[in-house]
Structure 1
Amino acid sequence: MVSFEELKLTRQYINALDDLGFEQATPIQIKAIPAIRSGQHVIGIAQTGTGKTAAYVLPILQRLSYAQGIAARCIIVVPTKELVVQVTQQVAELAKYTDLRYQGIYGGVGRKSQAKAIQDGVDLIITTPRRILELYQKENIKLNKVEIMVLDEADRMMDMGFMGQINTILEVVPTKKQNLLFSATFSPKVEELSWNFMDFPIKIEITPEATPVETVEQTRYAVPNFLTKLNLLAHLLKDEEAFHRIIIFVRTKQSANLIFDRLQKYGKDNIRLIHSNKGQNTRINAFQDFKNGAIRILVATDVMARGIDIKDVSHVINFDVPRIYEDYVHRIGRTGRAFRTGAAITFFTKAEVYHIDKIEKKIRMSIPICNLPEEVEVTETPFFENQEMEREIDAQKHKENPDYKGAFHEKKSHITKIKNKKSKRPKKYTGKSNSGYISKANKGKKSTSKKGRHKKR
């Protein structure tokens, strides 16, 4: 165990950490803080919930030291608005005993007020990729004094297609600066990104890629269909003492809306919904209400899966199995944070067994399976839902074996053969017309075409 005093942080940051109740540093903090404080380029790879944000914020604040000048000296780039809010809040907590100025900026709100706050003087900016470029291009904010640049949740930014914006940012900030990249995984895209702006970085890797936090208990339930998933979810949530703070992850906005409507019986004031179609203020308010403990249940798509730090989440429920397998680790990492314990429960249908197997290989462990409680009503799977699952299973088998045709292919081929056979039957023709033949039904009828009328004349 290493204390923050041993990492040679100055007294104002030690006091701020004491106020937050942090006594010992985490492994990523122990290795990253000295390296960043000394001015080296750093790539930090660590599993979610291990204190990556404080690992770079603390040494950056100490390097900036005090308020100076007008233009920003540090930019922290994160993928989502929720992360801007969270990192800004953590900067505020750690810089409370200093005069350093900081500003969080993101889309969905007016540019003018954000630009004015920056132009009035700021030392550190926390931003999404698009918003910083908009302010630079349209509001003429200055980025020529940047000394430190951080890309946080870099793997998520690559998944969201921000490579182009990040490269543009790199073109407008000074070349000579300290560069930091933090990520939960080091995919080929993240590695390529690091080559674009880092020379001879130190790579700090705390745990193997895609390793779940050990303090999270993982289980799964085999469930036949969507409606039975809803019934199981309702059954689990009856235990309000155990399930006192829950995030429910779903794949689609449509499913999120359906689950939210079903859970209204727990009270509208006790549940919130977050997905990309929700307004900016709605998303941020829902996040803050859940973080502050004002609500018990949060239903969300994977917009909430990365980097969000919320203490004392008792359970993460994967209503759907994620198709991006790294997201499973990110989802369940919302619980069991900062050495606390938590539980992650996953529901899966027969069409999701394939993805469960892939996830188990990715995390190098088996997820224990539980039997459905007897109290849970198991409904009959509707025809259309079963057909959809069968098609998905066929697609999975074809992905593993390109020569596999599948039941639906065979059925389609059989129908095509019947149609082709019918189309080859000879037609009965009884008379000729200008284009070939006329049918018996039309034989003897007067021609209505212009060509026919012309001949009669």
Structure 2
Amino acid sequence: MPKKFDEFKLNRQLLNAVEDAGFTEATPIQEKAIGPVLSGQDLFGIAETGTGKTAAYVLPVLMQLKYAQGQDPRALILAPTRELAMQITENVKLFAKYTDLRTVVVYGGLGPKTQIEQIKAGADVLVATPGRFLDLYLAGHINPKYLKFFVLDEADKMMDMGFIGAIHRILEVLPRKRQNLLFSATMSDLVQKIAGDFLKHPTLIEVAEQATPAPSVAQVLYEVPNFKTKINLLQHLLKDDEAFKRLIIFCKTRLVADNIYRFLERRFGTDAVRVIHANKGQNTRINSINSFREGNVRILVATDVAARGIDVTEVSHVVNFDVPIVVEDYVHRIGRTGRAFAKGDALTFCTPAEKYYVGKIQKLIRQEIPVVPLPREVFVEETPYEERQAIARAIDEQRRKEDPEFKGAFHDKKHAVPLADKRKQRKTPPWKKKKTKR
């Protein structure tokens, strides 16, 4: 029987905020984490995305902070992306609404002036991305002397994005006496290394097998020959307005995302679709996510910059237009649907060049993704010559990764004539021939 929030040692202000948010029963990660965090233990939590892990650390940290005090932050929460940092801040403010605790979020992509002013006005909880935290600290705007709580969220994504050096620098400036909390969806070697660097005899909490998709998400795989057939399949699926009521389409590059966005904009109108990726301005990205969250926009096209930290309820479908090359991102992409145990669908489009990564994903999640046939109404396009060549090269490269001795279609022939011999075989032009004296 799941625990109710009023069974934890939380004060009335937090319980009222939890009740206002519509939460009654704790999720498994909340049930296992809140008690140890309240008792002051370091914690290493492994939980799949969408399980409510933010509340699992925010509630007990707020409980221990109690009320506003001083000007300098007492809790630091690090997140890998701006989107996740903003999402965490929304959660902190949601649960702290009946307290006087102050929350400030700092991240790159915007000028620091407003963020500096907010910090100077006083903060109890500071949510930050690593780069911006270091910039503001080195410029003398953040005083870490009074930090009692340090939270590292989405640690696996931090490692993927190359933040390990920045995190070590941040650890050097934090007070030694503090409580440390680390949360990750997977336990890679790098995550274990960073955990060993700052967690002291942590309580390990694992609420699901590593990199296990939420059971509430139904996964299917469509095998398609080329890009144009992917477009035809997407167009066919989106005809079903009732089923595909709110969806996120993930692409591997900004170029593909922009192309898909323009196609969908022509089909469904500007009001129905938005696109977010690293080239979009911060305000544009925030407005697009908010419009999608509020239900004003039906389709959100995104690169993996948005795979984590977008907490939008009632996302009916996630479409992997491209199979992710960083295979761990698959779990985080499909975790955008089926949030908090609701039902969701994840569809993946796979060309012959992407089957290699599907195999890696299936190995990671320890399950096979069911392959479904293309609907009869979907027109299968002929693969253009350039795309055929690109697919063949990609497959060669993949096979070479697995077997360095492999010689593919695009290698030099084994018995090719050496360049020096070729030169010898060439006929000497008449004007270079030496004239013999008679």
Matched with 1:160 is: 161
Tell me which amino acid in the other structure corresponds to 1:255.
Answer: V
1:64-94 alpha-carbon deviations (Å, 9 max, x no partner) = 0011111110010001111111111111111
**Is the 1:153–1:307 Cα contact (8 Å) retained in structure 2?**
no
**Is the 1:246–1:317 Cα contact (8 Å) retained in structure 2?**
yes
1:133-157 alpha-carbon deviations (Å, 9 max, x no partner) = 1111124321111010100001101
Secondary structure at the counterpart of residue 220 of structure 1: strand
1:28-427 superposed matches below 5 A? 28-264=29-265, 265-409=267-411, 412-413=412-413, 416-417=416-417, 422-425=422-425, 427=427
Cα offset for 1:341? 0.3
Cα offset for 1:8? 2.1
1:383-422 alpha-carbon deviations (Å, 9 max, x no partner) = 111101011111111122221101221xx32795386664
**Is the 2:106–2:115 Cα contact (8 Å) retained in structure 1?**
yes
Secondary structure at the counterpart of residue 227 of structure 1: helix
Tell me which amino acid in the other structure corresponds to 1:439.
Answer: K
**Is the 1:105–1:128 Cα contact (8 Å) retained in structure 2?**
yes
Q: Distance in 1 between matches of 2:429 and 2:214?
A: 77
Question: Aligned in 2, Cα 1:300/1:428: closer, same or farther, shift over 3 Å?
Answer: closer
Unaligned runs of 5+ in 1: 431-437, 445-457
Is 1:439 aligned to residue 432 of structure 2? yes
Q: Distance in 2 between matches of 1:17 and 1:141?
A: 30
Q: Distance in 2 between matches of 1:124 and 1:28?
A: 22
Question: Aligned in 2, Cα 1:260/1:429: closer, same or farther, shift over 3 Å?
Answer: closer
Matched with 1:433 is: none
Q: Distance in 1 between matches of 2:429 and 2:388?
A: 47
Question: Aligned in 2, Cα 1:428/1:146: closer, same or farther, shift over 3 Å?
Answer: closer
Tell me which amino acid in the other structure corresponds to 2:413.
Answer: S
Tell me which amino acid in the other structure corresponds to 1:278.
Answer: K
Q: Distance in 2 between matches of 1:214 and 1:341?
A: 9
1:248-304 alpha-carbon deviations (Å, 9 max, x no partner) = 011111111111111112111111111111111111111111112121100111111
Stretch deviating more after TM superposition (165-174 or 23-32)? 165-174
TM-score (norm 1): 0.92
Q: Distance in 1 between matches of 2:422 and 2:146?
A: 76
**Is the 1:115–1:139 Cα contact (8 Å) retained in structure 2?**
no
1:364-393 alpha-carbon deviations (Å, 9 max, x no partner) = 111111111111111110111110101111
Q: Distance in 1 between matches of 2:426 and 2:26?
A: 85
Cα offset for 1:429? 7.5
Unaligned runs of 5+ in 2: none
Question: Aligned in 2, Cα 1:370/1:8: closer, same or farther, shift over 3 Å?
Answer: same
**Is the 2:48–2:211 Cα contact (8 Å) retained in structure 1?**
yes
**Is the 2:251–2:321 Cα contact (8 Å) retained in structure 1?**
yes
**Is the 2:83–2:309 Cα contact (8 Å) retained in structure 1?**
no
Cα offset for 1:13? 1.4
Q: Distance in 2 between matches of 1:38 and 1:65?
A: 15
1:202-247 alpha-carbon deviations (Å, 9 max, x no partner) = 1111111110100000001010000110110011111111001000
Say what the alpha-carbon RMSD is for the aligned residues.
1.7
Q: Distance in 1 between matches of 2:427 and 2:232?
A: 58
1:11-26 superposed matches below 5 A? 11-26=12-27
Q: Distance in 2 between matches of 1:337 and 1:429?
A: 75
Cα offset for 1:97? 0.8
**Is the 2:120–2:141 Cα contact (8 Å) retained in structure 1?**
no
Q: Distance in 2 between matches of 1:295 and 1:443?
A: 82
**Is the 2:119–2:141 Cα contact (8 Å) retained in structure 1?**
no
TM-score (norm 2): 0.96
Tell me which amino acid in the other structure corresponds to 1:65.
Answer: K
Stretch deviating more after TM superposition (109-118 or 265-274)? 109-118
1:162-204 alpha-carbon deviations (Å, 9 max, x no partner) = 1111111111121110111011011110111111111111111
Secondary structure at the counterpart of residue 219 of structure 1: strand
Q: Distance in 2 between matches of 1:367 and 1:116?
A: 50
Q: Distance in 2 between matches of 1:388 and 1:136?
A: 46
Question: Aligned in 2, Cα 1:421/1:381: closer, same or farther, shift over 3 Å?
Answer: farther
Question: Aligned in 2, Cα 1:443/1:154: closer, same or farther, shift over 3 Å?
Answer: same
Secondary structure at the counterpart of residue 329 of structure 2: helix
Question: Aligned in 2, Cα 1:340/1:429: closer, same or farther, shift over 3 Å?
Answer: closer
